[in-house]
Chain A
Amino acid sequence: MTISPSITSPERRPFRLVGLLPWLFAAVVVGYAMVVGGYAATVVSFALIYAVFVTGLNLFMGFAAQVSFGQNAFAAIGGYGSAVLTATYGWSPLPAMVFGIAAAVLAAAIVGFPALRLKGHYLAMGTLAIGLITYEITVEWQSVTQGYLGISGIPPFGIGSWEVTSDRGQLVMLSLVVAACAFAAARIRRSRFGRALSAVAGSEEAATALGIDVSRYKLMAFLLSAGFAALAGSLFVHVVGYVSPEVFGLHMVIVTFTMLYVGGIGTVAGPLVGALIVSLLPETFRAFKDYQDLAYGAALILLLIYAPRGLASLFAPRGRS
């Protein structure tokens, strides 16, 4: 990685005000959407769902400095798991979501075990292949996924008779989920597990020499990351009420990488900030709908070249340079 994370545990710093800025920004954006409601609430809801996904991506890529182009596969499993079980088999959303996430983590364990032995471009391509295979399956397995048509009529998220149907209600629910995810990420980073991942990111050989079971920690980070992705996929289908293969296609890979790099890879606040900025910016240029992917791609290239540590790193100089 371009960042070489410090191997020692991140110390608590007395000066924390600047570190709060990204959270403040997120709170303002979510608060604004909550007040205005309607379309703004929808856009911010999507951003929060992406934030869950990117938080997971960040665990694997930012904390552990591994590469996966295939996390969209697990979002697809989580999303389709929820969609099929609720819309086709009439399950209620919560067990469907849990089942979807469990299936995604299981799939991640099955493919992760051999895939994570790979390094460099082999790993990149292997994971990309996993994402593409999943996409093809969602297109071709029509008896279950209804192919390109997609599945509609997915119920909104709820527990028992309590359902989240209003825009604002969804926003509150998603904000809570994102806050929980960010909290989990922050805790993980400070934990023994997080420090082990930092060590793996710094040097696998050195980590091994320190007695860290590198392949086990990499697999654990991969499973966690897949769990986050599946959660995001499941949240998406319940919020939108519809799913099609395109939702979890290559577009998702590019968008989420842009979010990760805009926000700042390896930081705790980065995924949320990145997801909000990347989701909101195109909305201010809505006249240029055709140019969106073009803009994402170009922005990503510029960021990689000129600001590989992203925007959150400007707010939170955690002494990692």
Chain B
Amino acid sequence: MADWSYIPQVLVSGLGIGCVYGLIGIGFCVIYNASGIVNFAQGAFVMLGGMITQVLFSRSGVPLPVAALIAIAAVAVLGVAIERVVVRPLWNRKATMFVMILATLAAQIVIERLTLIAVGDQPKTLPVFTDRPPLMFGSVAVGYQLIWIVGGSLAIVGLLAAFFGLTRTGKAMRACSINREAAALQGIPVSRMLALAFALSAALGAIAGILITPTQYTAFNVGVPFAISGFIAAIVGGFGRPFGAFLGGLLLGLLQALAIVGFGAGLKNVAALSVLLLFLFIRPSGILGAAK
């Protein structure tokens, strides 16, 4: 059985990964709210965020912050490209929700394979952003990367709250999520909001990928597990509620960390998926209740 004195340490690292799940979960919600679409290519954004940064940083020698910014921008552009090439044609043909899920999942596979061909199958990693020994709080070590992850995530959540609450565009996106027809009648360019939602969601995914890569690794196939964890976070928080999703992410991160202590690292995905099934079967509307 596990040594329970690890628990505080484990919870701290669970918090870090939970923030990342939360960001990915918010990405799901942003697109879902703008369009009613569940974008299963979300994992590709996370993978590419870390991957592009890594390639720019270690192959081309671009400084890390610049590489990260370029990666975020590139992934946002890719988000819009997916919206234009895959989602928009289906949307115009009034495809069903299921067809949309399948198409975005296929897009995920295409991106994964292209990445595999471009950079190979070797796992890659990034250096930590601040290379110093971890801070000690009693017996609990807190690495600087964890501070970056938590701090960065909280900053982004704050910025998003400001964006949705204060800016005209953010309010327009919220209007779309409440009722698209009514929003269109108010003169809100609904289809442009959809493209914007994909860009925003892709950028969020990329940021999550960049933040987490130094503590783990990135490879062409890390996307799907991250996407699934993000989706679970969104379900647990109540689908369509961005901040619920962040909360759900934190909860999932903590639970997963405990599951690793209890059952071993091999079963951490099983634990996360079981949480998903539990919520789906017992309380599909999540902790806070689904947005719709």
The answer to whether A296 has its CB under 8 Å from any CB of chain B is yes
The answer to whether B141 has its CB under 8 Å from any CB of chain A is no
**Given the known A-B contacts A124-B98, A304-B90, A304-B95, are A254 and B105 also in contact in the complex, defined by CB atoms under 8 Å?**
yes
**Given the known A-B contacts A67-B98, A121-B97, are A126 and B90 also in contact in the complex, defined by CB atoms under 8 Å?**
no
Q: Are B90 and A136 in contact, CB atoms less than 8 angstroms apart?
A: no
Nearest CB of chain B from residue A190's CB, rounded to whole Å: 25
**Given the known A-B contacts A300-B102, A301-B86, are A126 and B114 also in contact in the complex, defined by CB atoms under 8 Å?**
no
**Given the known A-B contacts A125-B276, A136-B270, A300-B106, are A308 and B113 also in contact in the complex, defined by CB atoms under 8 Å?**
no
The answer to whether B235 has its CB under 8 Å from any CB of chain A is yes
Q: Which of A127-135, A159-167, A209-217 contacts B (4 or more CB under 8 A)?
A: A127-135
- Chain A residues whose CB sits within 8 angstroms of the CB of B112 once the complex forms: 293
Assembly CA distance A2 to B224 (angstroms): 27
- Chain A residues whose CB sits within 8 angstroms of the CB of B106 once the complex forms: 254, 296-298, 300-301, 304
Assembly CA distance A118 to B278 (angstroms): 12
Contact of A137 among B89, B113, B224, B270 (CB under 8 A): B270
Within 8 A of A (CB), among B54-97: 86, 89-90, 93, 95-97
Q: Are B103 and A115 in contact, CB atoms less than 8 angstroms apart?
A: no
Name which residue of chain A comes closest to B92, CB basis: A305
Total residues of chain A contacting the partner, CB 8 A? 39
- Chain B residues whose CB sits within 8 angstroms of the CB of A139 once the complex forms: 266
- Chain A residues whose CB sits within 8 angstroms of the CB of B116 once the complex forms: 290
Interface code B97-125, partner A: CB below 8 Å = 1, 0 otherwise? 11101110111111011101100000000
Assembly CA distance A291 to B114 (angstroms): 8
Contact of A304 among B103, B117, B284 (CB under 8 A): B103
- Chain A residues whose CB sits within 8 angstroms of the CB of B95 once the complex forms: 2, 304-305, 308
**Given the known A-B contacts A133-B273, A140-B270, are A297 and B109 also in contact in the complex, defined by CB atoms under 8 Å?**
yes
- Chain A residues whose CB sits within 8 angstroms of the CB of B266 once the complex forms: 136, 139-140
The answer to whether A50 has its CB under 8 Å from any CB of chain B is no
Contact of A254 among B97, B109, B231, B280 (CB under 8 A): B109
Q: Are B269 and A136 in contact, CB atoms less than 8 angstroms apart?
A: yes
The answer to whether B38 has its CB under 8 Å from any CB of chain A is yes
Assembly CA distance A118 to B38 (angstroms): 15
**Given the known A-B contacts A2-B96, A254-B106, are A305 and B89 also in contact in the complex, defined by CB atoms under 8 Å?**
yes
The answer to whether B47 has its CB under 8 Å from any CB of chain A is no
- Chain B residues whose CB sits within 8 angstroms of the CB of A121 once the complex forms: 38, 97, 101, 239
Q: Are B103 and A296 in contact, CB atoms less than 8 angstroms apart?
A: no
**Given the known A-B contacts A118-B280, A122-B284, A126-B280, are A132 and B273 also in contact in the complex, defined by CB atoms under 8 Å?**
yes
**Given the known A-B contacts A290-B116, A290-B117, A301-B110, are A308 and B99 also in contact in the complex, defined by CB atoms under 8 Å?**
yes
Name which residue of chain A comes closest to B277, CB basis: A129
Contact of B281 among A2, A67, A114, A304 (CB under 8 A): A114
The answer to whether B179 has its CB under 8 Å from any CB of chain A is no
- Chain B residues whose CB sits within 8 angstroms of the CB of A69 once the complex forms: 105
Q: Are A124 and B277 in contact, CB atoms less than 8 angstroms apart?
A: no
The answer to whether A17 has its CB under 8 Å from any CB of chain B is no
The answer to whether A35 has its CB under 8 Å from any CB of chain B is no
Assembly CA distance A120 to B99 (angstroms): 11
Q: With A125-B276, A290-B117, A294-B110 given, name 20 new contacts (CB 8 A).
A: A111-B277, A114-B281, A115-B280, A115-B281, A122-B284, A125-B38, A125-B280, A129-B228, A133-B270, A133-B274, A136-B269, A136-B270, A293-B112, A294-B117, A296-B109, A297-B108, A297-B109, A298-B110, A305-B93, A308-B93
Q: Which residues of B contact A (CB under 8 A)?
A: 38, 86, 89-90, 93, 95-99, 101-103, 105-110, 112-114, 116-117, 224, 228, 231, 235, 239, 266-267, 269-270, 273-274, 276-277, 280-281, 284
- Which 5 residue pairs are nearest across A and B when measured between Cβ atoms? A294-B113, A297-B109, A297-B110, A114-B281, A121-B38
